[in-house]
Amino acid sequence: MLKFDAKAHTYTYNGKLVPSVTQIISAAGLSDYSDIPASILKVAADVGTDIHTACAEFDRGGSMPKNELLAEYVQGWAKFVRDFSAKWQYVEQFRYNARYGYAGTPDRLGYVNDRWTVIDIKTGAPAKWHRVQTAGYAMFSTSNIPYRMAVYLKPGGYKIVEHKDKLDEQVFLSALTIFKFKGAK
């Protein structure tokens, strides 16, 4: 059974600690925020978490948030959902890959313009490692998910970046190998 400890941001499967997609990518050095002050990272992470939570509540049938800034980001998300006729099968649902022994929480899995798609919602700028992240998420499905994208939200709007490079899965698996080699926790 897969469990997530939100406070520690860790996953366990049948009582055993397993790495997350983002931990794997970070341990391999693909995402590096060492040049950004911790106080700025914390604020950005908190805002991003609030936006993700508000979008998830919206997708589960909730109303727009009362906070004006959050509402503007959710309006951008709602516009994306409308523009692409998105229909979600899973919203922020924990997943586990038994073959490779890792876990994570894709932001959305569902149909975007009738295509089975994994989506990661972002509030910052596009980065190369985002496509490796969606590749790791796509591998949670036994049939792999053919379409992957990041949706970069801004107040009242969005930008999408489709992730089409087939090499991304190999990069993710290489990162997982590096994670295991380093004995990262």
Instruction: Give the separation between CA 109 and CA 147, rounded to whole angstroms.
Output: 10
**Residue 82, SS3?**
helix
pLDDT digits (tens, 9 = 90+) for 49-98: 899 999 999 999 988 899 999 999 999 999 999 999 999 999 999 999 99
CA atoms within 13 A on the CB side of 174: 9
Query: Which helix (H) or strand (E) segment is 5 a member of?
Result: strand 2-5
Query: Which helix (H) or strand (E) segment is 177 a member of?
Result: helix 167-182
Task: Note the pLDDT of residue 145.
Answer: 78
**Residue 134, SS3?**
helix
pLDDT digits (tens, 9 = 90+) for 3-24: 999 889 899 999 999 999 999 9
pLDDT digits (tens, 9 = 90+) for 130-140: 999 999 999 99
Q: Are 34 and 54 in contact (CB under 8 A)?
A: no
Residue 2 confidence (pLDDT) above 70: yes
Residue 155 confidence (pLDDT) above 80: yes
List domains and CATH numbers for the chain: 2-182 (3.90.320)
61 φ, ψ to 5°? 100, 10
What are 65's two structure tokens? 């948030």
Query: Model pTM?
Result: 0.91
